[in-house]
A and B are shown apart, each in its own frame.
Chain A
Amino acid sequence: MGLMDSLMAGLSLVGNVEAFLALGLGVLIGVIGGAIPGMSATMAVALTLPFTFAMQPITGILLLLGVYKGGIFGGSIPAILIKTPGTPASSATVLDGYPLAEKGLAGKALGMALWASCTADLISNLALILFAGWLASFALSFGPPEFFTLILFSLTIIAGVSGDSLLRGALSALLGLLLATIGLDLVYGTNRFTFSDPNLMGGLNFIAVLIGLFAIPEILSMVWNPRAHEGQTRSLGDNWVTIKEYLASFKSIVRGSLIGVFLGSIPGIGAAPSAFLSYSEARRKSPNRANFGKGELEGVAASEAGNNGVAGATLIPLLALGVPGDVITAIIMGAFMIHGLQPGPMMFIINVDIIYGLFIGLIVSSVFLFFIGSVAIRAFKFVADIPRGVLFPAVMILCVYGVFAVNNNLFDVGVMFAMGWVGFFFLRFQIPAAPFLIAFILGPLLEDNFRQAMLMSGSSPLILFRGPITWVFWSLTAITVIAIARAGWKAARRRGTPA
C-alpha cells in the first residue's frame, strides 16, 4: 500500500465526529487529571482505559493518547501556580515557573508552557511519523534472539533510570518479572504459582495490576495524610506571553523537543529526565543563565518542551517494536491488546489504516491541546478546589468499576486492592513502580523469546549472539549498565554515600 493509500485509509478511520470528540475529550480529561495534584497523567490514562472498551479501537486509543498529551501539559499548571508538579515530568517547570508566579507573572509562565508544549508535541508527532515506519520495517527481520536482546536492553534502561537508586529500580523490575510468571507455563502448559486457583491460570490481569499500582496507592497516601497537596494558588496576573518572548525561547524549545524525541524513543527513560536535561542545556546555552531558577521564561519553555517532546516519541518503540517507551505507553499497549491489536512491526502491515489514523489524530491533538490548554489554565482554580475527601473516594469507585469491566471478574477487583497495597509499600520504601509494571508487561515477552530461541538452537546460548542486531543490543545493554553504574557511583560519591 502506498503512502497516499495508507493516508486515505487512516483518514477514513478517523475522519468522523466520534474520533475527534474522543481526542478532544481525552485532552480535556488529561489536562484536568494532570492539573490535580495527587493524580498524574499515568493515573488519568489508567482510569480512562476501562471507558474505551465499548469504543471502536481507533476511537478508544485516540481518547487515551489525548489523555496522555493533555496530562503531560496539565502537570505544569499546578507546578507553576502552587509549586506542586501535577506529574513528575513537570518537576523541572517548578524551578522557574513558580518564581514567575510569585512575581505576578503566572499567566506569562503558563502561556509559555502551553506554547512550548504544543510546539514540542508537534515536533514529537512528526518524529513518530517519520521514524516509526522505518524502524518497523527494520524490525521485521527480527527473530526471537533479536527480540530477546532488545527487551533485555529495554529492561536495563528501565531499571537504571526510574529512580535515584539503581538497586531499588532493579528490585522493582525483578518483582515485576516474578509476578509475570504467574499462570500456565508458555511452553508446557503446567501450573506456575496458580495455588490451584483457576482465576490465576491466565496470569494476573494487566489492568488490575496497573490500576492497583498507580491509582490505589495515591488513595492510600491521601488516607495516610489527608492534608497533603494543599497549597496556595497564585493568581494568573494580567500579562500573557508575547510572540517576541516565544521567538526568543524558540531555540530552547526546538532543542528541548529534540532532546525529548531522542530520550522518548529509547524505551524506559520517560519525560522527567528529558525535562531536566532540556532545562540544563537551555541554562548552559542561554545568555540569561544567571536568571535561571529565579523566574526565567526560557527555563519554563525548555522544561515543558523537554517533557512534551517525549509524548509522541515514546510511541516509536511501541508501534515499531511492540516495546512500551514509558509507563503510560505501557498502559496504552494494554488498550491495543484489549482491542485485539498487537503493537509491533506486523501492525504496519496488518493494521496500516489504524497506524495512519493514529498519526492523523496525533497531529490534530497538538491543535486541541493548544485550545483546551488555554481554557484549562483559566479554569484551574475550579479544578484545584475539588475537595480531596470527595475526589479520591470517587477515584476508588471508578477503579472498582473499571477493573471489573475488563473481564466481568470480581477476582480482578481483589487483585487491584492487593496491588494497591504493594504500590503503597513501594511508595513508602521509595521503590519506583514504573520498572515493576514495564517488567510485568515485558516479562512474558522476554521469557517467550528466550525459550523460543533455545528451542530453535537446541538449547545453545550461542543463538543469542547470532548476528549484528543481537550484538548491537548486547553492546547497548553493556554500555547502559556501565553508564548507570558509573553515574550512580559518581552521584553517591558527591553525596558521600554508596550507590
Chain B
Amino acid sequence: MPERRLHLQLGIGAVLVAALLLFWAIPTWVSSPSNVRNIVLSPLFWPNTLAALTALIGLSLIATALRLPRAEKAASDVHDRPQAVARLVGAAVVMVVTFWALPRLGLVWTAMLAFAALAFLVKTRHPGWALGSAVLVPLLLYLFFAKVAGVAIPQGEFIRLP
C-alpha cells in the first residue's frame, strides 16, 4: 500500500478509536469511585491519557500523510485478490465455528475439523497428508495435554475420549 494512503488510513483510524474511547467507551465502561479527590489517582486517568495520546498520534499520522506525495497505486501481493479475500473470510468462518463448537463437540473433534477445513481452504497439494495429520495431530496433542500435563481437555457433549 502506498505510504500516503497507509498513514492517512491509520491516522483516521487512530483518531476514530480515540474519539470512541473518550466519548463513549471510557464514560460508559470505566467506573471510578465518587470519593476520588485527585484526578491522577482516578481509574479514569490512565485510559483518558492513553486515548488522548492515541488521538495525538492519529493527527500526526494524518499530518504526515498530507505532506507525502501522491503515489501510483501499488501492486497487490497476491495474483488472485478476490479469491484471497474469500479465503480470508473462510478462515474467519473457521475460527468462529471452532470457537462455537469447542464446548459442544469437544477440543479434539473440533480441532480435527478445523485442521481439515483450514488445509483445504488453502488448497493443500498434499490432501492425504493433510487428512492424516488432521486426525493425528489433535490426538497426539490430546495425549500430551490430558495425560502428561494433566489439563482437563473439554470432551464435548457427544463422543468422549478415554
**A174-B50, A192-B47, A387-B125 known; A392 vs B118 contact (CB < 8 Å):** yes
Supposing A167-B61, A185-B43, A191-B30 touch, asked if A397 and B68 sit within 8 A by C-beta, the answer is no
Question: What is the 8 Å Cβ interface bit string for chain B, positions 113-155, against chain A (1 contact, 0 not)?
Answer: 0111011011111100110011001100110110011111110
B29–A192 touching, CB < 8 Å: yes
| CB-CB nearest 3 A-B residue pairs | A389-B124, A54-B149, A185-B43
- Contact between A410 and B154 (Cβ–Cβ < 8 Å)? yes
**Across the interface, do B53 and A174 meet the contact criterion of CB distance under 8 Å?**
yes
Please give me the residue from chain B that is nearest to A228 by CB atom: B77
Residues from chain B with Cβ under 8 Å of A165 in the complex? 7
B114 touches A187 (CB 8 A): no
Nearest chain A residue, comparing its CB with the CB of B138: A397
Bound Cα distance from A498 to B84, whole angstroms: 33
What are 15 A-B contacts with C-beta separation under 8 Å? A167-B61, A175-B54, A178-B47, A187-B43, A219-B91, A226-B123, A387-B129, A392-B122, A400-B107, A404-B107, A404-B154, A410-B103, A417-B98, A450-B46, A497-B68
A387 touches B141 (CB 8 A): no
**What is the CA–CA distance of A413 and B30 in the complex, to the nearest angstrom?**
25
Tell whether A401 pairs with B145 under 8 Å between CB atoms, given A188-B32, A390-B129, A498-B68: yes
Q: How far is the CA of A239 from the CA of B72 in the complex (A)?
A: 47
Asked whether, in the complex, the Cβ of A223 is within 8 Å of the Cβ of B57, the reply is no
Cα(A194)–Cα(B92), bound, Å: 24
**Which of A185, A188, A394, A410 contacts B133, CB < 8 Å?**
A394
Among residues of A, the one whose C-beta sits closest to the C-beta of B33 is A188
Cβ distance B9 to chain A, nearest Cβ, rounded Å: 7
Of the candidates A167, A223, A401, the one whose C-beta lies within 8 Å of that of B141 is A401
Pick the contact of B84: A225, A396, A455 (CB < 8 A): A225
- Chain B residues, Cβ within 8 Å of A53: 149, 151
Residue of B nearest to A492 (CB): B64
Interfacial chain A residues near B92, Cβ < 8 Å: 421
Report whether A397 and B61 are in contact in the complex, using a CB–CB cutoff of 8 Å. no
Decide if A451 is an interface residue (CB 8 Å cutoff). Answer: yes
Q: Is the CB of B88 within 8 A of A429?
A: no
- Other than the given A190-B30, A220-B91, A389-B123, 15 more pairs (CB < 8 A) read A187-B41, A224-B77, A390-B133, A393-B114, A393-B130, A394-B133, A397-B137, A400-B107, A400-B111, A400-B114, A401-B111, A401-B142, A405-B145, A450-B40, A497-B69
A397 touches B41 (CB 8 A): no
> How far apart are A278's CB and chain B's nearest CB, in angstroms?
29
B118 touches A410 (CB 8 A): no
Alpha-carbon distance between A225 and B78 when the two chains are bound, in angstroms: 6
**With A190-B31, A223-B91 in contact, do A394 and B115 touch (Cβ < 8 Å)?**
yes
Could you mark each residue 419-461 of chain A with 1 if its beta carbon is under 8 Å from any beta carbon of chain B, else 0? Answer: 0110000001111000000000000000100110011000101
B16 within 8 Å of A by Cβ?
no
* Secondary structure type dominating chain B contacts: helix
- Residue A408 CB within 8 A of the other chain: yes
B residues near A454, Cβ cutoff 8 Å: 38, 40-41
Name the residue of chain A whose CB is nearest to the CB of B94. Answer: A396
User: Which one of A400, A417, A498 lies within 8 Å of B64 (CB-CB)?
Assistant: A498
B14, B47, B138, B153: the one within 8 Å of A181 (CB)? B47
- Smallest CB–CB gap between B74 and chain A, Å? 12
The answer on a CB contact under 8 Å between A192 and B137 is no
Q: Nearest chain-B residue to A55 (Cβ)?
A: B149
Cβ-defined contact, B144 with A408, below 8 A: no
Given contacts A194-B29, A400-B107, contact A170 B57 (CB under 8 A): yes
B41-A178 in contact (CB<8A): no
Q: Judge whether B105 is part of the interface by a CB distance below 8 angstroms.
A: no
CB distance from A39 to the nearest CB of B (A): 16
Tell me if B51 and A178 are in contact (CB < 8 A).
yes
Contact assessment for A193 and B29 in the assembled complex, using a CB-CB cutoff below 8 Å: yes
- CB distance B129 to A193 under 8 Å? no
Question: Is there contact, CB below 8 Å, between A431 and B41?
Answer: no
